[in-house]
Amino acid sequence: MPRFAANLTLMFNEVPFLDRFEAAAKAGFTAVEFLFPYAYPVEEIGKRLHGNGLTQALFNLPPGNWDAGEKGFAALPERFDDLKQSLVTALPYARATGVKRLHLMAGLADRKDPKALAAFRKSVTHAAEFFAPHGIDVVLEPLNARNTPNYFLNDFGFARDMIQDLKIPNLKLQFDIYHCQILHGDVTMRLREMMPITGHVQIASIPSRHEPDDEELNYPFLFAELDRLGYDGFVGCEYNPRGKTTDGLAWFKPYAGARP
Ligand SMILES: O=C(O)C(=O)[C@@H](O)CO
Ligand SMILES: [Mg+2]
């Protein structure tokens, strides 16, 4: 049975961010993820997580100035110092939460630009080597161009090739089914092919990015497929609830209270 992680950036928005840990636990989740913890004291994040008996499945490394439109800087050659600093910033949060995987964002750049490509390989390698002694994986997530125009990492095949080429044991793929369906389709076959390099999975309905209970994909089939493939990681619920979060959790009822 998949282990679902509530995404506290998108879900439980009825309450302030720090109160969403308790809300998720009360709804039956045993794990959580979120985009960024950096606006909150590291001790407070750890306290809310552990105080509610939750496991931290994932969060993102600092992306730069998110409000100004930055989406990371791993592929930006002139931002390597910022990249290095971002790893140092994230480390205390990783220690406090015990998270085992962190998402490194590529940034807005042209994938065909050799300088951006070289910067991305260098940043990815540096980040993975930085976190390896801490037992933490670095995950790369292709994003679709409708949600994030001009994002460097916009192709699952490209991400797969780079991960396989670099052969860094703690470098993995973040397989967001929502993005995969929009970018390429054929989700089941891609899951089967990319499972050996997949370190995290995320879900939402397509195209609306709401609860995974309607629209283009048959999620119960995909959840069973993850089990058939022996996927032992987390499935992040990265969706915008249609209304009140708890009113939209009927899909989750069969899975509530899974092992952490
Ligand atoms: O947009 C997504 O999908 C994510 O998982 C984010 O972490 C990237 O912003
Ligand atoms: Mg995602």
The per-residue pLDDT for 256 is 81
| Most informative mutation of 35, 61, 108, 138 for ligand 1 (most atoms within 8 A of CB) | 35
What are the φ and ψ backbone dihedral angles of 5, each rounded to 5 degrees?
A: -115, 125
Binding site membership of 70 for ligand 1 (Cβ less than 6 Å): no
Binding site membership of 33 for ligand 1 (Cβ less than 6 Å): no
Task: For each of the domains in the chain, give its residue range(s) and CATH number, in order of start.
Answer: 3-255 (3.20.20.150)
Distance CA(36)–CA(137), nearest Å, equals 17
Distance CA(123)–CA(97), nearest Å, equals 24
Cα 72 to middle of ligand 1, angstroms: 11
Report, as ranges of residue numbers, the positions in the chain whose pLDDT lies below 50: none
Cβ neighbors of 141 (< 8 A, separation 6 or more) are: 103, 105, 153, 159, 173, 174, 175, 176, 179, 202
* Tens-digit pLDDT profile for residues 57-114: 999 999 999 999 999 999 999 999 999 999 999 999 999 999 999 999 999 999 999 9
Binding site membership of 123 for ligand 1 (Cβ less than 6 Å): no
Do the beta carbons of residue 21 and residue 56 sit within 8 Å? Answer: no
What size, in residues, is the chain? 260
Could you list the active site residues?
141, 238
DSSP annotation of 106: B
DSSP annotation of 70: -
Shortest-distance atom of ligand 1 to CA 141 = 5
The per-residue pLDDT for 255 is 85
Cα 5 to middle of ligand 1, angstroms: 14
Structure-token pair, residue 166: 């670099």
Cα 252 to middle of ligand 1, angstroms: 21
The per-residue pLDDT for 260 is 60
The per-residue pLDDT for 254 is 86
The per-residue pLDDT for 259 is 61
Structure-token pair, residue 204: 């939402």
Distance CA(165)–CA(159), nearest Å, equals 10
